[in-house]
Structure 1
Amino acid sequence: MSATPFEHLDIATLKAWLDEGEPLTLVDIRDPMSFARGHIPASRHLDNTSVGALLDETPKDAALVVVCYHGHSSQQAATWLAGQGYSRVYSLDGGFTGWAAQHPTRVDTAPA
């Protein structure tokens, strides 16, 4: 069993999942301005205002991938989401910064 209630996810695996159409929910916990400037396509911005809707709309067995700036804050958010009963929670290692560096053409600036 994992020592943490979530799993680490590398950028290559996330890219493969997205390419394969793997069902998942991407949640970006960065500040609203950073999210507006760029985010992984299909991400939804998650903050104290929107978390209730996420909890209401997302099945507990859904795969949740948490994205932050560099992959540190997302670990705390992933732990919290797992504590809400989600069984498949991932923290993106390298965060949005790593994603944008490796996949600059796969960054969306339109609100998701």
Structure 2
Amino acid sequence: MAPELHPDDVESRLDDEDFTLVDIRDPEAYEQGHVPGAENLTLEELEQIVEEREWNDTVAFLCYVGKSSQQAARFVERYGDADDVYSVAGGIDAWDGPVATEE
């Protein structure tokens, strides 16, 4: 199991240059509401780019409730080059910070 990062900790790290938040929900859900600054990559896209991508030192994955983000985090721990990889505890359902939409 990948370590979890509390949503409050995510919010405090969003401006850090060495931190990346990846929202692995489907693009439609991402467009309807996501954490500002998060990038959207599905699990399928992640599997295609994980080894070629240069990851920031710290990467956190966000999904609906914290289950699929565990899978993504374990995948990047195994095949990626990030130093610290996390799953956001509780997913977007636990997020009470600002939300951005794509319109």
Q: Same fold (TM over 0.5)?
A: yes
Q: How far off is 1:52 after superposition?
A: 3.9
Counterpart of 1:108, as a letter, is: A
Check conservation: 2:70, 2:87, Cα contact below 8 A: yes
CA 78–35 in structure 1, closer or farther in 2 if over 3 Å, else same: same
* 1:1-112 superposed matches below 5 A: 4=1, 6-18=2-14, 21-22=15-16, 23-47=18-42, 48-49=44-45, 52-53=48-49, 55-59=51-55, 62-85=57-80, 86-99=82-95, 102-103=96-97, 106-110=98-102
TM-score by length of 2: 0.82
How far apart, CA to CA, are the structure 1 residues paired with 2:62 and 2:29? Answer: 12
CA 54–9 in structure 1, closer or farther in 2 if over 3 Å, else same: same
> How many residues of Structure 1 are paired with residues of Structure 2 in the alignment?
100
Q: How far off is 1:51 after superposition?
A: 5.1
Q: How far off is 1:38 after superposition?
A: 0.8
Larger radius of gyration: 1
Q: Percent identity?
A: 32
How far apart, CA to CA, are the structure 2 residues paired with 1:92 and 1:50? Answer: 17
Counterpart of 1:88, as a letter, is: D
Q: Secondary structure at the match of 1:56?
A: coil
- CA RMSD of superposed structures (Å): 2.0
Unpaired runs of at least 5, structure 1? none
Q: How far off is 1:49 after superposition?
A: 3.3
Counterpart of 2:65, as a letter, is: H
Unpaired runs of at least 5, structure 2? none
